[in-house]
Amino acid sequence: MMAAAVEHGSGLVLGQVQVGSKTNEIPAVRQLSQNLDLKGRVVTLDALHAQQETARCLVESCRADYVAASVKDNQPAIRKNLEDLDWAGAGWSEDKFDKGHCRLETRRCAVFDLSDPKWSETRKLKGRKQAFWIERARHVRKTGKTSRETVFGLTSLGADKAGPDAMLSLVRNHWHIENRLHYATDFTYDEDRCRARVRHLPRNLACLSNAAISIIRLRGEFKYLPEANRHYAAKTQDALDAVLNASRC
């Protein structure tokens, strides 16, 4: 298993590390963070990484900010505290609408300022300055079914850096790692069905796939990865030129 860092928007893989056989993604993400120059950047994380040491690593060692895109049952005390906040006085974003994949989605976000000293002993994730609450409503046109979801999270970004609209955008863009990396490696490069199991071969193949994705996106000549793969499979000299000149993109 590899842990990767993906840039919002561009979908570029900035770095990756292998997850040890006797551990999990949590320490691997800390190691990856320290390998990258994250100073002044905002790092978005999913529920698994809403961890004290991960937050400390990003804020103190990397000099970066974080957005824990969701806090779930792996941190029950923090989640319960977030649920119990008086959200009636929080600032809300405008409703955002999306239409695609035969469904309609409405999202809105509230942020709660935790900078007041009275909150110092609660929701103690290192460096947290704001809590946020995101509501999502999805309507599937084909089946007529509607579902609702509520997500709580924490961020080290203060109110002067990220209001409700900015927070909603950051959390939305966090899922680029699913849509622009995991989906691409699973379906375009068929990684899930790969039978390579010997020594370093699985890791090397994953590295090559991520490098290919990044080179294609840096060049900006193709809208979709399958289109680029067909082009380079037919024109091997173009593929060689793309690899050798990747640093110039």
The tokens of 189 are what?
């490069």
**pLDDT category of residue 121 using cuts at 50, 70 and 90:** low
Q: Which among 82-86, 97-101, 186-190 has the top mean pLDDT?
A: 82-86
Residue 122, pLDDT score:
61
Q: What is the pLDDT of residues 50-67, one digit of tens each?
A: 899 999 999 999 999 999
**pLDDT category of residue 212 using cuts at 50, 70 and 90:** confident
Residue 236, pLDDT score:
87
Q: What distances in angstroms separate CA 33 from CA 3, 26, 98, 193, one per listed residue?
A: 10, 11, 32, 29
User: Quick check: 243 pLDDT over 90?
Assistant: no
The pTM for the full model equals 0.81
More confident residue, 103 or 156: 156
Burial class (CB within 10 angstroms; exposed 0-12, middle 13-18, buried 19+) of 165: middle
Tell me the C-alpha distance between 101 and 83, whole Å.
31
Using alpha carbons only, what angle is made at residue 114 by residues 109 and 115, rounded to the nearest 5 degrees? 130
**pLDDT category of residue 153 using cuts at 50, 70 and 90:** very high
User: Quick check: 233 pLDDT over 80?
Assistant: yes
Residue 183, pLDDT score:
77
User: Quick check: 211 pLDDT over 90?
Assistant: no
User: Quick check: 249 pLDDT over 70?
Assistant: no
Residue 100, pLDDT score:
72
